[in-house]
Amino acid sequence: MKKIYNYIVFISVFIALVNSGCKSNFTTKVTVRANQWYFNNQIINKGSPAEGLLMNVRMVNSVFEDRSTQLSINIPNFDSDTNTNEFISMLSEYVSNGVNAFTISLQGGSPGYDGAINTAFNADGSLRKEYFDRVERVIRACDSQQAAVILSCFYQRQHSHPSSLKGKEEIKKALVNVVNWIKERKFTNVLLEITNEYNHDGYKNWPDGEWLVTEQGQNELIMMVKRLYPSLLVSTSGMGDGTYPPLLTKESDFFIIHFNNTAIEDIPIKIKELKKYGKPIICNEDDKLKNQGAFAMALSVLNGCGWGYMNYPVNQEAPFRFKGIADDSVVYKMFKNVSSPGFQIDLHSMKIPSNTITSPNDDDIFNVGEKIIIK
Cβ atoms of 285 and 261 within 8 Å: the answer is no
Give the whole-angstrom CA distance, residue 237 versus residue 325.
Answer: 26
| 349 pLDDT tier (thresholds 50, 70, 90) | confident
The pLDDT, as a whole number, for residue 350 is: 83
The pLDDT, as a whole number, for residue 374 is: 52
- Mean pLDDT, the chain, rounded, equals 91
- At the fourth CATH level, the homologous superfamily of domain 2-350 is Glycosidases (3.20.20.80)
| 23 pLDDT tier (thresholds 50, 70, 90) | very low
| pLDDT per residue as tens digits for the range 35-53 | 999 999 999 999 999 999 9
What is the mean predicted confidence (pLDDT) over 175-187?
98
The pLDDT, as a whole number, for residue 367 is: 39
* Among 244, 238, 293, 304, residue whose Cα is nearest residue 264: 293
CA dihedral defined by 43, 40, 140, 189, rounded to 10 degrees?
A: -70
Give the whole-angstrom CA distance, residue 108 versus residue 68.
Answer: 14
* Among 139, 134, 245, residue whose Cα is nearest residue 192: 139
| 26 pLDDT tier (thresholds 50, 70, 90) | confident
At residue 16, does pLDDT exceed 50?
no
The pLDDT, as a whole number, for residue 363 is: 40
| 375 pLDDT tier (thresholds 50, 70, 90) | low
What is the mean predicted confidence (pLDDT) over 225-233?
98
| pLDDT per residue as tens digits for the range 266-304 | 999 999 999 999 999 999 999 999 999 999 999 999 999
| pLDDT per residue as tens digits for the range 133-174 | 999 999 999 999 999 999 999 999 999 999 999 999 999 999
What is the mean predicted confidence (pLDDT) over 106-113?
98
Q: What is the pTM of this model?
A: 0.90
The pLDDT, as a whole number, for residue 300 is: 98
Question: Domain limits of the chain?
Answer: 2-350
The pLDDT, as a whole number, for residue 25 is: 73
* Among 120, 112, 107, 50, residue whose Cα is nearest residue 308: 50
At residue 86, does pLDDT exceed 70?
yes
| pLDDT per residue as tens digits for the range 237-261 | 999 999 999 999 999 999 999 999 9
Pairing label, strands 36-39, 30-33? antiparallel
Is the model more confident about 191 or about 349? Answer: 191
Give the whole-angstrom CA distance, residue 161 versus residue 37.
Answer: 39
